[in-house]
Structure 1
Amino acid sequence: MTEEQLAFSRKARLWITVLLLVTIGLMTWYHRWAKFDRFFPPDQPPTEPIAVFEEIGRDKGKGNLLGLQPWMNPIDYGSPFHLRHKLSDYLNEAQEKGWLIPQNTVLVLPEYFGTWLVAERQRREIYEASSIQDAMTTIVLSNLSILTNSYWNAPDGTSDKLRYAVFANAGEQMARSYTQVFSGLAQLYQITIVAGSILLPNPRVENGQVVAGEGPLYNVTAVFRPDGKADPQLVRKLYPINDELPFVSSANPNDLPVFDTPVGTLGVLVCADAWHRPAYAALRKKGATLLAVPSYSAGDGCWAKPWGGYSGTPTPATAKADVGKLTEGQAWLKYAMGGRAKPEAGITKGMNVFLRGNLWDLGSDGTTVVLNDSLHVTKPVKGASLTCLWL
């Protein structure tokens, strides 16, 4: 080998060594950055008292439906302890009013209430982010190595693989925390809890615990019994809306379950499902006497804006004349539980609650809608509300 070749070889080895050291340094920095602060989420501010209480009917000894619209912030999802603490504060207020009846209360929580457990034990800046885009970007960047597998294994037909990967990757931990929170509260207060909804990959219930699987994402609700165990049946959202369709799968109305509770046979429709006739036909066939509708309306003040029609499915011909004429809130009353439960399923008692709060820049709107033979709409409020319907 010539002197020039030897010199080139030495330089090449030097550059390779430098490159390896830089790579190792970058990987070490990334690992420390990605893990920093994860296990010590910021302190949770005190829970603001419930702003509005409404009581419908009187206690006849037959139990009640209790609709809670909590006011949520990103830090409330910093850990299972944070979430349980927030809910416990609300439920203690309900208990002081005599609205938690052991065995005979069914508590209804809103759609997506468990979904934001995806932010559990993430980097601090996620809880302080001004937008959901910034929060999700940080989640992606700090989990690149483990998100890759979920991304490439997204089911066929998933057009938004990144959002799928974020939730599928966190599914096991989310399911564990969701169960931990609601199992504990159901057992502590001895009530039935319709635990809002959560995005999970192909979930199931094993030995009273909600467990995430592999495969398609579903928007699901679990019902926790007073003994703390999740009912073996999960409610999967039948009709995902436009924002969900790129990464969330739909379910079959024929598979819609009902739940035997101490106060009646309970049906659960997740948000947009309450706008569709086949869902009510299934509930009628299975003998539901009570209805819970966990919901979320995105965007501050959206209930006062013109209704744009159905989302995720075509607007029925019978409703097209109201597009642009009704407000979003008026359409909820006419085409969802308020206008369908009694004539289409024979159900006269129901509770429809909405997720509210300052969750990044998502915005929210919606007031609790109560079906008690006739329809009752609670007062709009910027804060938590609690509504008791005596059965």
Structure 2
Amino acid sequence: MRKVLGSLTAVVLVILLTSYGLWTSKRHVGHYLTDLRIQLVINDGEPGDRGNLLGIQPELFASDYSSVKRLHRKLAAYLQQAHDRGLINDKTIVVLPEHIGTWLFAVDEKSQFYQAATIEEAMNWLAFSNPLLFLDAMLHARGEKRLEDAHLRMKAQSMARNYQSLFGGLAREFAVTLVAGSIVLPSPEVRDGQLQVGKGALYNSSLVFGREGIPLGQPQRQLFPSWYQRGYIRSGKDTPLNVVDTPAGRLATLIGSDSWYPDNYVRLNAAGAELIAVPAFVAGNGSWSQPWRSDKHQQLSSRLDLGSKPLTQGEAWRRLALGPISTARAGISVFMRGQLWDQGSAGHSFASRGGQSVAEQSISAAPKGAKPGHGARLINLWL
């Protein structure tokens, strides 16, 4: 009798494991693109032969990341509309927002993953659907928040490949220099023209692609990660600030809050940076208009010159980023928009010319049917 029960148990286990294996191999296939409309909210200066800084503030949702092809179609639609408006030429530098590459962990997942109500639920489905990748990532996870580390680490190799093929492909397709926002990867570096990952700590990094789709230099690591990344993103404060040559001039990238600190501009001035791209991200719907709190940020933030009057997040960003201490000719800060599960985002992109801020004249004229504060945006600064 025991042998019979043992055999039946073994058969049931085999059936369950086989069913689980078959379930994990089936992936969601999306058929419908989200809104492709984009509004031009800043178009400063006059067209000329010196090129332009073109920020694309996309509005993205979880379903947009269901496949690389789907995300490409949406971003390419934005770029095509910019091209049709005469905003793309052979000296154009396109800037995308922070973390646009990080969400590539969401590519090719189960339908339950995209339908989750919260990011926590989605991450549970991510681990459950990729058990071997998750277990391996947990073994290599670092920092205080090992679970968050593992979730971002588990698909790092495919994320790096997709990041380069997607954003390098867009740069080549539209013949532009492209600052590909940022992506969180373990110890990223470019070797033989290819973005590679290691087994070390996670860094929030940005890569610039030239007009042929080839990386220009090494990934720029974020020096001062944001408060919500504490415990799993390593600071890159000891790494250099990269300056790369582009058809429009020498370009530097400061990720997010790295753009607040005067010492970074002093270093870039010495390196001859003429243009500065700031891929940025502000977490939480409506947080742009909420009070700026120094206790949420790096200790260095207590020494920033913000005056005595209380400021909102948006006011602090415009005062700190791309300030007059920089000798660069121009700069641009580009934020993400959209809703990824329960994770909202905020931020109004802006530009700078000679240390003077260039912001949206009006944020009320959105595409028909769009909610206030929503909708994709183009920010253009002629050089």
Same fold, judged at TM 0.5 (above): yes
Looking at structure 1, the residues matched to 135 and 308 of structure 2 have their Cα atoms a distance apart, in angstroms, of 42
Deviation of the 1:160 alpha carbon = 1.4
Find the counterpart in structure 1 of residue 331 from structure 2.
Answer: 350
Whether the 8 Å CA contact 1:182–1:195 is kept in 2: the answer is: yes
Matched to 2:12, the amino acid is: V
Deviation of the 1:67 alpha carbon = 0.6
- Listed as ranges, the matches of 1:50-69 within 5 Å are 50-69=38-57
Looking at structure 2, the residues matched to 277 and 21 of structure 1 have their Cα atoms a distance apart, in angstroms, of 66
Find the counterpart in structure 2 of residue 375 from structure 1.
Answer: 357
Bigger CA drift: 194-203 or 278-287? 278-287
Deviations 1:201-227 (A, max 9, x none): 111112322222222111110100001
Deviation of the 1:282 alpha carbon = 2.0
Deviation of the 1:244 alpha carbon = 1.2
Deviations 1:261-285 (A, max 9, x none): 1111111000011122332222122
Cα RMSD for the two superposed structures: 1.9
Secondary structure of 2:319's counterpart equals helix
Deviation of the 1:322 alpha carbon = 5.6
Matched to 1:382, the amino acid is: H
Deviation of the 1:60 alpha carbon = 2.2
Find the counterpart in structure 2 of residue 135 from structure 1.
Answer: 122
Deviations 1:115-163 (A, max 9, x none): 11100000012222222111111101111222112102223xx111122
- Listed as ranges, the matches of 1:1-391 within 5 Å are 10-11=1-2, 13-36=3-26, 38=27, 40-102=28-90, 104-155=91-142, 158-309=143-294, 311-314=296-299, 316-319=301-304, 325-337=310-322, 340=323, 342-343=324-325, 345-373=326-354, 374-378=356-360, 379-380=362-363, 381-391=373-383
Deviation of the 1:315 alpha carbon = 5.1
Secondary structure of 1:358's counterpart equals strand
Deviation of the 1:319 alpha carbon = 4.3
Q: 1:375 to 1:148 in 2, by over 3 A?
A: same
TM-score computed with the length of structure 2 as normaliser = 0.92
Deviation of the 1:311 alpha carbon = 3.6
Deviations 1:29-63 (A, max 9, x none): 22122222x1x521132543113442100012110
Secondary structure of 2:29's counterpart equals coil
Deviation of the 1:64 alpha carbon = 0.3
- Aligned residues with identical type, % of pairs: 34
Looking at structure 2, the residues matched to 321 and 231 of structure 1 have their Cα atoms a distance apart, in angstroms, of 35
Whether the 8 Å CA contact 2:53–2:332 is kept in 1: the answer is: yes
Whether the 8 Å CA contact 2:184–2:203 is kept in 1: the answer is: yes
Secondary structure of 1:350's counterpart equals strand
Looking at structure 2, the residues matched to 320 and 69 of structure 1 have their Cα atoms a distance apart, in angstroms, of 28
Whether the 8 Å CA contact 2:274–2:327 is kept in 1: the answer is: yes
Looking at structure 1, the residues matched to 149 and 141 of structure 2 have their Cα atoms a distance apart, in angstroms, of 7
Deviations 1:185-204 (A, max 9, x none): 11111110000101111111
Looking at structure 1, the residues matched to 154 and 286 of structure 2 have their Cα atoms a distance apart, in angstroms, of 33
Whether the 8 Å CA contact 2:255–2:278 is kept in 1: the answer is: yes
Bigger CA drift: 277-286 or 214-223? 277-286
Looking at structure 2, the residues matched to 191 and 320 of structure 1 have their Cα atoms a distance apart, in angstroms, of 36
TM-score computed with the length of structure 1 as normaliser = 0.90
Deviations 1:1-47 (A, max 9, x none): xxxxxxxxx52x333323322322221222122222x1x52113254
Bigger CA drift: 364-373 or 311-320? 311-320
Matched to 1:257, the amino acid is: N
Find the counterpart in structure 1 of residue 367 from structure 2.
Answer: none
Looking at structure 1, the residues matched to 233 and 308 of structure 2 have their Cα atoms a distance apart, in angstroms, of 26
Matched to 2:23, the amino acid is: W
Looking at structure 2, the residues matched to 98 and 292 of structure 1 have their Cα atoms a distance apart, in angstroms, of 21
Deviation of the 1:323 alpha carbon = 8.3
Find the counterpart in structure 2 of residue 5 from structure 1.
Answer: none
Whether the 8 Å CA contact 1:253–1:282 is kept in 2: the answer is: no
Deviations 1:45-87 (A, max 9, x none): 2543113442100012110000110110111111111111011
Bigger radius of gyration: 1
Looking at structure 2, the residues matched to 126 and 20 of structure 1 have their Cα atoms a distance apart, in angstroms, of 30
- Structure 1: tracts of 5 or more residues without a match: 1-9
Looking at structure 1, the residues matched to 259 and 304 of structure 2 have their Cα atoms a distance apart, in angstroms, of 15
Matched to 2:29, the amino acid is: P
Q: 1:375 to 1:211 in 2, by over 3 A?
A: same
Runs of 4+ in 1 over 3 A off after TM superposition: 315-324
Bigger CA drift: 247-256 or 83-92? 247-256
Q: 1:236 to 1:318 in 2, by over 3 A?
A: closer
Bigger CA drift: 204-213 or 79-88? 204-213
Deviations 1:282-301 (A, max 9, x none): 21221111110000001111
- Structure 2: tracts of 5 or more residues without a match: 364-372
Secondary structure of 2:265's counterpart equals helix
